[in-house]
Amino acid sequence: MSEKKHNVSRRQFLTYTLTGVGGFMAAGVILPMARFAVDPVLKAGAESDMYAVAEVADLTEEPQRFDFSYEQVDAWYQSEVTETAWIYREGDNIVALSPTCTHLGCTVNWDANEDYPDQFFCPCHFGRFEKDGTNIAGTPPTEPLHKYVTEVRDGTVYLGTAEPQI
């Protein structure tokens, strides 16, 4: 009967031991850093959130201003964002428009200039939009106001992102 001897030299023993301990310690440092770097990417789904903004019963055929806030995580920075929507009813339809002028980003208001009643008016360069957000020819904006994705649940209007109408 032959018996194989497995001799491990002191040098090999130290090499294996130090490699194992070193690897363990490196993993303890590297894994939290990797998780920290990747974590915001894993949470990227938050953009598809819908926010409760208004009650259907409060809406009229006249656009009304509604402000709403939500927590936004931008990579590692968390902040509260407040946005505005001009919302009105059109039969069974609910229309929610962004107040951001599509010219250079000023804020538009409904029925704000007595020379142009029943229009959205931008005071920065006198941009104007129809009630449905269509930009009026001859004024600086070249595209309609963006429209929010809307959803009604149990009598409450939820808004998603504001998207271009063209």
- Cβ neighbors of 128 (< 8 A, separation 6 or more) are 116, 119, 120, 121, 122, 135, 136, 139, 141
Judged by CB under 6 A, the residue of 35, 43, 65, 125 near ligand FES is: 125
β-bridge mates for residue 89, sequence order = 94
Question: 94 vs 122, which CB is nearer to ligand FES?
Answer: 122
C-beta of 70 vs 132, nearer to ligand FES: 132
CB-based contacts of 100-105 (< 8 A; 24+ apart in sequence)? 100/145, 100/146, 100/162, 101/127, 101/141, 101/145, 102/127, 102/135, 102/141, 102/142, 102/143, 102/144, 102/145, 102/146, 103/127, 103/140, 103/141, 103/142, 104/140
Q: Is residue 106 at the binding interface for ligand FES, with CB under 6 A as the rule?
A: yes
124 binds ligand FES (CB under 6 A): yes
Give the other-Cβ count within 10 Å of 42's Cβ. 8
Stretch of residues binding ligand FES (CB under 6 A), selected from 15-23, 37-45, 119-127, 153-161? 119-127
Among 52, 63, 62, CA closest to 150? 52
Q: Establish how many alpha carbons lie within 13 A of residue 58's alpha carbon, considering only the half-sphere containing its beta carbon.
A: 10
> Among 94, 97, 122, 145, which residue interacts with ligand FES (rule: CB under 6 A)?
122
The one among 63, 87, 97, 103 contacting ligand FES by CB under 6 A: 103
Cβ 44 to ligand FES shortest distance, Å: 31
| Chosen residue from 25, 37, 73, 104 binding ligand FES by CB under 6 A | 104
Closest distance to ligand FES from the beta carbon of 82 (Å): 20
- For ligand FES, the binding residue among 87, 141, 144, 157 (CB under 6 A) is 141
| List of residues contacting ligand FES (CB under 6 A) | 101, 103-104, 106, 122, 124-125, 127, 140-141
